Amino acid sequence: MTHPYSCLEMYPSAQFNPSQNFSQLYASEDAEMLLRDVPWETYSTARLLSTEDLQLIRSYDKKPKEEQKMILEQDGFAYAKTFMTVLKKITKEDTVQYTLALINTMLSEDGKNAALFHSEEDSYTPLLKLLPKENGYIAESACRVLVKLLGARTKSPEITQAQASCSSSPSSTTATGGQDSGRPAGLVGEVLATLLDWITQQLRVGPGVGVAGAGAGRRGALCVWSLACLLRDRPVRAMLLPRGGLSLLTPFLTPPTSPPQLQVLYEAAVCVWMMSFLPSAAETFFNARALPALVEIAKSVSKEKVVRVVVMTIKNLLNMEGCPFASEMADLNVLKVVSILRQGTWADPELEEVLECLEEELAAAVRAETTFEKYRTQVLSGTLDWSPITSDPTFWKDNAQAFEAQNFQVVRVLLKLLEVSKEPRTLAVACSHLSLFLQHHPHGKHIVQELQGKELAMGLMAHPEAEVQKQALLCVQKLMISNWQVFQAA
């Protein structure tokens, strides 16, 4: 079923809402900064600011909120340009801090004010230059402004053009899955690349002590919130993947010990959920050990919004092409976890529907995986025998895609047995199983030939044991004849 939560309209606003603690933390600092007095006239005398800039700042600074709102409604573009001029031309930290506080407050009061900065040819470079600053408030405030401006520019020509080109491609899909999108074109793409580099660099410090703490905890929380905002655009997800974003987010997927940490966990889970729409992310998810972390959260966290996003992520991983996580989900007993969640009481009826759907899908996957897992264990043991599996077409049909797991590990082991095994029965069974794989996998012939399987099978056609000869011959026939069904009938 296609569930409403499988699309990003789950978040209708342009901005991802940060936690109250997170907002209050920065809002109080911004307010404290705005209590200062800045000698704007000095900058005008030094010709760093024009007379017009000075007049605009005087008319806006220290005014009541309602008056500032009216000013921006009348001539907001001019004020946005002036604020950017300050950041471009003035380097004194106190003034830079004050200006960033003005902009952040302006954007927090009304997210639509972000559009005032989009008329500027480049409102981003002055902010990007502030990210490496040692002053924590300046670097973090610059990041906050950049995220708000980029988040409000979802419908910008650069991003819209990139998404449209993806949508028009024959291999493209919607936001709910399919092929990965490319990097946004032009200036926005360059800005996003630089910002993502900075964010991932900060995340390498680790989750720290949480949003209410200092240093890594506060910076980490800011970066997670930033990604939760930015990843709403598909191209950004593809940009984050090669930067190790998933591995950097996984440490935040831990059961919280405080409300602020719960919110950071939720935002990190939202990031991971959005990354789970990337087909190319399967291996990265596996290497990052994200699934075990998600399952642990599902077991220990009862907050409904967290459960919802974790369940949807697990559903996406289960439905990835080739079912790469089916085996791990069986090992982690995810079906039992979901069954327990179904017994809970949830305010959202759609979450109950998702849990029911996921339970059914997991049950089917576990049934298939359990049977195939037993077979895989037998193959990896290096000793094969005739069994009901050999004569069960349903097994080979239902599990054809399961052979793709771990880069066709089972197929490679079967071929290795043809090369090294001295046991005639194992050789005959291995040839038979390869024949069945060729029969049921749509690309089986190409895969086995690429792994030098034809040469190995042909070598066994001269084996002294008749059964080995027979099975090797059948295997070679299926490799060499395109329409082997017609040949068999003849």
Query: pLDDT of 330-351, one tens digit each?
Result: 878 899 999 999 999 999 999 9
Which range among 29-33, 169-173, 333-337, 435-439 shows the weakest confidence by mean pLDDT? 169-173
Q: Name which residue leads in pLDDT, 260 or 48.
A: 48
Angle at 144 between CA 139 and CA 147, to 5 degrees: 125
Structure tokens at 210: 């949480």
When computed from its CA atoms, the radius of gyration of the chain, rounded to whole angstroms, is 29
Average of per-residue pLDDT across 112-122: 84
Nearest CA-CA partner of 248 in 212, 213, 219? 219
- Compute the average pLDDT of residues 277-289: 92
pLDDT-based confidence at 487, cuts 50/70/90? very low
% the chain with pLDDT above 70: 83
117 Cβ contact partners less than 8 Å away, ≥ 6 residues apart = 80, 84, 123, 149
d(CA 253, CA 368): 29
CB of 315 closer than 8 Å to CB of 351:
no
> Given a cut of 70, is residue 192 above it in pLDDT?
yes
Which range is least confidently modeled, 139-143, 153-157, 334-338, 459-463? 153-157
Q: Which residues contact 17 (CB under 8 A, 6 or more apart)?
A: none
pLDDT of residue 155: 47
Per-residue pLDDT of 145-176, as tens digits, reads 999 999 887 544 444 443 433 333 323 333 33
Rounded to 10 degrees, the C-alpha dihedral 355/356/360/361 comes to: -40
Q: Is 251 left (phi over 0), alpha (psi -120 to 50) or beta?
A: alpha
Q: Is the pTM of this model over 0.85?
A: no
pLDDT given for residue 165 in this prediction? 38
Mean pLDDT to the nearest integer, 183-198: 86
Average pLDDT of the residues of the chain: 85
Residue 36 pLDDT exceeds 50: yes
Give the per-residue pLDDT at 260.
Answer: 80
Task: Please list, residue by residue across 281-317, b when 16 or more beta carbons sit within 10 angstroms of its beta carbon and e when fewer do.
Answer: bbebbbebebbebbbbbbbebeeeebbbbbbbbbbbb
Q: Is the pLDDT of residue 132 over 90?
A: yes
What pLDDT is stored for residue 121 in this prediction?
A: 66
Task: Please report, as a single letter, which amino acid is at residue 378.
Answer: Q
Task: Please determine, for residue 419, whether its predicted confidence score (pLDDT) is greater than 90.
Answer: yes
CA–CA gap between residue 221 and residue 265 (Å, rounded): 9
